[in-house]
Amino acid sequence: MRDRGVETRYARALMLAAREAGELDGVAESFVGVVAALGQNPALVAFLEGPQVAHDEKTALVRKLFTGRVEATLLHFLLLLIDKNRVQHVAEIQREFAAMVEESQGLSRATVVTAVPLPEDLERDLTARLEKLTGRRLVLTKTVDPAVLGGVRVTMGDRVIDGTVRTNLDKLRAQLFRTNVR
């Protein structure tokens, strides 16, 4: 099992440094771009993670690629990851960092699954109701899954509100099987 402590510690350190520098939003946005760029370039990741590559070569390349393109706080953070041999954790650190930023801004994420695309008016109504329920602003991720047949399933963290037709049919089926019919 993977130790999530590394990601949390580094994300928290970046959060504090970015906030202190007044660059929190910029660092959050830039960090997404850095992770996307790394994801699109496996050779770069292999170079940065490779033990056969000299430390100075790695830092020189990161400086060349990102100086002037990302905030100084993020650049120093990336160099720290190289120094501490933690580059392999960068994507997980970024996800943890993004979650911390959202939390600090009073945002939560929710995933909404429906059988058909949700019309805008229903999406606004659902968002308003969920925000009232949670007391937080929400960022919705919408997914269409015809297997749910109808209704909606909302997942917020470890909380699931399932009002789908599929789940109700499954519950009804289970209840019928438990019932002793003669």
At 89-137, the pLDDT tens digits run 999 999 999 999 998 988 888 999 999 999 999 999 999 999 998 888 9
pLDDT at 179: 82
Average pLDDT, the chain: 92
Clarify whether residues 11 and 94 are in a common domain. yes
Domain that holds residue 65: 5-103
Clarify whether residues 96 and 18 are in a common domain. yes
Clarify whether residues 11 and 79 are in a common domain. yes
Helix or strand holding residue 76 (H, E):
helix 72-83
pLDDT at 106: 86
Clarify whether residues 114 and 46 are in a common domain. no
Domain boundary among 69, 103, 137: 103
Which tens digit of pLDDT belongs to each residue from 59-75?
999 999 999 999 999 99
Evaluate if pTM is beyond 0.75.
no
> Whose CA is closest to 144, among 109, 114, 110, 111?
114
Question: Could you give the number of structural domains in the chain?
Answer: 2
> Whose CA is closest to 81, among 134, 132, 11, 130?
11
